[in-house]
Structure formats: C-alpha cells, structure tokens
Amino acid sequence: MAITEDKILDALSNVIDPDLGKDLVTLNMIEDISIDGKNVSFTVNLTTPACPMKAEIERACINAVKHMVDPEAEVTPNMSSKVTQSQATKQEDATSVLRNVKNIIAVASGKGGVGKSTVAVNLAVALHKAGAKVGLVDTDIYGPSIPTMFDIKERPNISTQRKVIPLEKHGIKLMSMGFMVEADQAVVWRGPMVSSAVKQFLGETDWGELDYLIMDLPPGTGDIQLTIVQTVPLTGAIVVSTPQTVALDDARKGVAMFEKVKVPVLGIIENMAYFTPPELPDNKYYIFGQGGARNLAEKLQVPFLGEVPIEQSVREGGDEGLPIVLKDEQSASAVAFRDIAEKSAQQISIRNAGMDPTEKIEILIK
C-alpha cells in the first residue's frame, strides 16, 4: 500500500501537543508533506523555537507514522516554528511600532540588586540563540544596565520616518535610557515623567518584527512600575527574586501588582540560588536559604521557572558585555538560563492559546 498525504495527516492527528492539549493537525502545525517511496518528510511548526518539548514531539511524529502508516517508512520531521502573537499587541493599531512585536515580557523584581537585568539579558540571548527574533528594552531609568551588559557606547540613529533605530548586538535589538544620557549624569525625573518617557521610548522605536521583546523594569512595585505595566501591551511578566525572606516578601508584592492590573505572571525565577565552589563541583551551598522562591510560586499558584546559581563568571560577563549564555555555554548558570528561557516561552505559548496554565495536560503518543 502506497503512503499518501492523507494517511500521514491521519497518523499525525494522533500526536498531541502536550502544552496546548490538541493534536498537531488541528493546530495547523503540519505543512509541506513530501513523500518519495518510503521517504516521508514534513514541517512541524511549533509555537516557539525554544519549545522544551521539541525532541519529544519529533519522536512522537516519527512513531505515529511508523506505527500507523508504514513500519518501514523513513520519517524526517523538519522541526520549525511560528511564534504566536499575544492578544495584547494584536490589539495595537496598524501604525503602532508594537504591532509586529508578537510578545512583550516584563522582567520585574520587588527590589534592586537581585539580578533582574542579568536575567533579562540572558533570557533575551537564550531566546535568540534558540532561533527567535528578540529585542530588549531597558526601562530602568535610574539604573540602566544594558549599555554595560552589552558593552555599548554608541548612540542610536534616527530613521527617515523619525523613529529611533535600536542598536543591535549579539543578535538582539537594544534600547536603553542609558543610550540617551551620560553614564555619570544622574537622572532626577519624577515618577510621571518616567512613565511617559518609557511610553514614548517604546512607541518611538522602530522595533520591526519581533517574536519577543523583553522589558527590564525598574525595581520595585511603586507608581512608576504600575504605570508602565498598565500602559505597555504586555503578554506577561516574570518576577525575579533571591532566596532571602526580605526579597521573597517583595517578590510577592510584585506578583500582586501584576495580578491587580490583570497582567499574567508567567512565573518566578530564583537567582543566586546556591553556590558551588569550583574545587567542590558536586556541592551546592544554599547561602541565602533553600527553596524559598519555589515555595512562594507554589503558594501563589504561579509557575516556578527555575533557579540560577551564583557564579563569578555571571558577574564578570555582565561587567564585560558578554552575557554568560554566550561566554560559557556549559556553565551551570548558562544551562539554567536556557532552561528558564524554554519554560518562559512555553508559558507564553500556553497563554497565547487562551489556556490557563493549570489546565496543562501531558499527553504524547507512546
């Protein structure tokens, strides 16, 4: 019996995307089926290139065709992606620079110094390395860190349409208040000026097409942050904390702030979770306490996205303009950042499919 396109589609309609709870054919993920004797290939368009289930879904596709169509088939799925757009930016009007930005993710923290910028930068780079189009905007007016963390000294140019052209480094489109003011020049703006500056800043930048725009928020949960999260069409927010009780108390306020304005919290990240001395590679010292952010996430019923260890190279990478996911791919923190980027992208896909993350079901064809 010859292999046909219909038989392939029939088989693939048994493969369920475990995050979205529907089969790949219903989700319109399959295209370009080609059959040449026993050789079968097709494209699978996942909802993010950073899909943590990619390998499993690929295996499930191969198994489905072999079991249900022809055991001798040579099956080659081409794993690709089309990132889904959030309702938030779909509603932007056609002239908005954010219209073609599929997802805007705020990275927030209850207090400063917990590694919010470090997380924002490494998430952006990890998503780009996975194959996504990524931008990063630093709205921390009082302590902009993107110029240092990317080692950028130049200023952005203005296009003929009078929009600011973001600078680009390591494949990421970048904008920062720090590009506009001298490093030693203190910014003394008041709250309302800050939020209107941020709005203008986002709206006057020529972002082009982006899958993810990561936004580094100023630390805290005051009026400035509240105004920003209310005026920007956010897909969701990620809250960064360190393990200490004081930081966790502030992280809780961060989650509450987003809930108040109905911005979905995609999850909590614990930074500086533990320390491993180089001479004792199997030991983890939980200097600031253990499991705090995970427990908080559980209590607040938001996803826990992962923990990042304290590593000297993370700090060095930040100071020299080379984020750790580029500087040392094998380091424990780089591995953690990649994993967190995948989990974050997964949460975004789930939200964009209109699902509650708690409805997530795990089924794949055996």
Ligand X SMILES: Nc1ncnc2c1ncn2[C@@H]1O[C@H](COP(=O)(O)OP(=O)(O)O)[C@@H](O)[C@H]1O
Nearer to Mg ion, 117 or 241 (CB): 117
By CB under 6 A, what part of segment 215-234 binds ligand X? 219
Distance, in Å, from the CA atom of 304 to the CA atom of 238, rounded to the nearest integer, reads 10
Q: Per-residue contact track with ligand X, 4 to 43, x per CB under 6 A?
A: ----------------------------------------
Find residue 308's DSSP bridge partners. 271
Q: Which of 311, 322, 334, 343 binds ligand X (CB under 6 A)?
A: 311
Q: Which stretch binds ligand X (CB under 6 A): 40-48, 193-201, 294-302, 303-311?
A: 303-311
**Which residue in 357, 144, 87, 106 sits closest to 254, CA to CA?**
106
Nearest residue to Mg ion, by Cβ distance, number only: 117
Maximum C-alpha span of the chain: 76
Q: Which stretch binds ligand X (CB under 6 A): 52-60, 87-95, 185-193, 308-316?
A: 308-316
Nearer to ligand X, 166 or 318 (CB): 318
Q: Which of 26, 39, 91, 113 binds ligand X (CB under 6 A)?
A: 113
Q: Which of 84, 117, 139, 195 binds Mg ion (CB under 5 A)?
A: 117
Contact between 145 and Mg ion per CB under 5 A: yes
Per the CB < 8 A criterion, the answer to whether 253 and 183 are in contact is: no
Q: Which of 47, 195, 333, 344 binds ligand X (CB under 6 A)?
A: 333
Contact between 195 and Mg ion per CB under 5 A: no
Contact between 116 and ligand X per CB under 6 A: yes
| Residue 136 interacts with, from Mg ion, ligand X, none (CB under 5-8 Å by kind) | none
Contact between 271 and ligand X per CB under 6 A: yes
Residue 114 CB, shortest distance to ligand X, in Å, is 5
Q: Which residues contact 113 (CB under 8 A, 6 or more apart)?
A: 219
Per the CB < 8 A criterion, the answer to whether 105 and 262 are in contact is: no
**Which residue in 151, 158, 105 sits closest to 127, CA to CA?**
105
Q: Which residues contact 59 (CB under 8 A, 6 or more apart)?
A: none
Q: Which of 81, 86, 117, 347 binds ligand X (CB under 6 A)?
A: 117
Q: Which of 141, 266, 272, 348 binds ligand X (CB under 6 A)?
A: 272
Nearer to ligand X, 11 or 305 (CB): 305
Query: 166-194 b/e with 16+ CB inside 10 Å = b?
Result: bbeebebbbbbbbbbeeeeeeeeeeeeeb
Residue 37 CB, shortest distance to Mg ion, in Å, is 57
Residue 208 CB, shortest distance to Mg ion, in Å, is 25
| Side chain identity, residue 26 | T
Pairing verdict, β 16-17 and 22-23: antiparallel
Q: Which of 88, 308, 334, 348 binds ligand X (CB under 6 A)?
A: 308
Which strands make up the sheet holding 30-36, listed edge to edge? 30-36, 39-46, 74-81
In terms of C-beta density within 10 A (0-12 exposed, 13-18 middle, 19 or more buried), how is residue 339 classed?
middle
Distance, in Å, from the CA atom of 73 to the CA atom of 54, rounded to the nearest integer, reads 21
Distance, in Å, from the CA atom of 123 to the CA atom of 338, rounded to the nearest integer, reads 7
Nearer to ligand X, 219 or 233 (CB): 219
Where do contacts with ligand X occur on this chain (CB under 6 A)? Answer: 109, 112-118, 145, 219, 271-272, 308, 310-311, 314-315, 318, 333
Where do contacts with Mg ion occur on this chain (CB under 5 A)? Answer: 117, 145
